[in-house]
Amino acid sequence: MTLHTITSIREGLRAKQFSAVEIAREALETAERENPKTNAYLRLCPERALAAAAEVDRKLAAGIEAGALAGVPIAVKDVILTKGVRTTCASKMLENYVPPYDATAVERIEAAGGIIIGKTNCDEFAMGSSNENSFFGPVKNPAALDCVPGGSSGGSAAVVAQGPAVVSLGSDTGGSIRQPASFCGVVGVTPTYGRVSRYGLVAFASSLDHIGPFARNVSDAAAVLEAMAGRDPMDSTSAAAPVPSYSAALNGGDVRGMKIGVPVEYMKHATGETAELIHAAVGKLRGMGCEVRDISLPSTDYAIAAYYIICTAEASANLARFDGVRYGYRSPETASPEAHKLSAMYRNSRGEGFGPEVKRRIMLGTYVLSHGYYDAYYLKAQKVRALIARDFTNAFREVDAIVAPVSPFPAFRIGEKVNDPVSMYLSDIYTITGSLAGIPCMSVPCGATTATATDPALPVGMQILCNHFEEQKMFRLAHAFENS
């Protein structure tokens, strides 16, 4: 199995070492063979992939520009719509849903020559931090098969780490790209809110959801984001800001003099080998000529509470449409007279169609939006969100970028935290602040823990955060670090 990159595929196609169809077939065969180990793919789409690859070969043979992602096998998280290919959100509720249109991100990837080879497993409706909440079973981490890959985009991270896909698309609401990237040892990018259209992304929390790429290196992640980004009239929240060449920003990646902030509130919670690796990474940045200083983000301690109020409230509203009448699974009628009542149909359909974590979040969200509690919880959480955003605004007046851990710990074992929601939610402590502020963030590998007789070496990622629409600066720092 060849671990291709976008560059190696581009060069191989140009030199006629292989065709796009041959690359697509190799990716599909590898996915078919390797998937039983990890359960990272939910379904493959060979007909779509081979047809798209044949079109790339036709263009190349005719001397027509085939696109920046020509021939690159790409996997798509199962909350992002793909026309004619089942999109289930890893839920029984949408087990048989076949979208009639593509998400804008998917359209743009294919317009750039990318080859969609399959849909990846995830936490149900993107709600989770371990990828154990899927109706189709958990995903296993390729780095350690008894460990989680992170969530909710664990399948998208795993297929890139494992090899069947060169890059993949995930979604991030509170860390669902960065944490799996860290756990699986790949690059994961959460762009500025609005930088990539959400049209065709099944909504979890609309004011927090992003689509972003996974890749095995920073250059590939930059190329994929560049292909997807930009204003979309189908998404009123997409930004009209011009999209620069992220790939060009990587050239001559001298970061001497760049001011790097390290939040004291983050590092006080970091312990063990994760903290040691982050400190070593910060030391490497200092050795590269960066000016490193401690900064304060004083509202950080309130972020978990604010995030889990806002995201569950928005989930409660967004998932109300899945009621067994308009959309989603409908419970079969029974002989019981009670089952024929509308209220019973709703209760049975949603009770059977949603898994435990989705139900938990819907109930929490419904509670904080209910009469008498809106001001006490939801409104207060939004005020805290504004304070968190202000913390970052103030910080970026002093520094160019912020560096922090992605997670307090590396990948944990499957089943270890699944029955402890509070412990699971706390795994997002370093990622949700950037999500609440809507700023671009990414995870770049910075080493691995030490293997022992009982535990394998596990990847650890360093998080880089920059100001709104400063992805170029973020990529430049990450690329310099990656190549140092």
Instruction: Kindly state whether residue 223 falls inside one of the protein's structural domains.
Output: yes
**Residue 446 in domain:** no
pLDDT at res. 420: 85
CB 433 within 8 A of CB 305: no
Q: Answer whether residue 273 is part of any domain.
A: no
CATH of the domain at 128: 3.90.1300.10
Q: What number of other Cβ atoms are within 10 A of residue 369's Cβ?
A: 17
Residue 43 belongs to a domain: yes
CA angle 185, 190, 193 (to 5 degrees): 175
| Residue 375 DSSP symbol | I
Q: Is residue 388 a part of any domain in this protein?
A: no
Q: Is residue 252 part of a domain?
A: no
- Helix%, strand%, coil% for the chain, nearest 5: 45, 15, 45
Q: Note whether residue 163 is domain-resident.
A: yes
Q: Which residues have CB under 8 Å from 71's CB, separation 6+?
A: 9, 10, 13, 19, 20, 23, 24, 53, 56, 113, 115
Q: What is the DSSP letter of 203?
A: P
Q: Which amino acid, residue 134? A: S
Give the model's pLDDT for residue 336.
64
CA distance 209 to 94: 19
60 within domain boundaries: yes
Domain limits for position 41: 6-242
pLDDT in tens, the chain (484 residues): 578 999 999 999 999 999 999 999 999 999 999 999 999 999 999 999 999 999 999 999 999 999 999 999 999 999 999 999 999 999 999 999 999 999 999 999 999 999 999 999 999 999 999 999 999 999 999 999 999 999 999 999 999 999 999 999 999 999 999 999 999 999 999 999 999 999 999 999 999 999 999 999 999 999 999 999 999 999 999 999 999 999 998 976 689 999 999 999 998 877 789 999 999 999 999 999 999 999 999 999 999 999 999 999 999 999 999 998 889 999 887 656 676 788 888 999 999 999 999 999 999 999 999 988 988 999 999 999 999 999 999 999 999 999 999 999 999 999 999 888 888 888 899 999 999 999 999 999 999 999 988 889 999 999 999 999 999 999 999 999 999 8
Number of domains in the chain: 1
CB burial readout 462-480, b (16+ within 10 A) else e: bbbbbbbbbbbbbbbbbbb
Active site residues: 77, 152, 176
Name 421's Cβ contacts closer than 8 Å, sequence gap at least 6: 357, 360
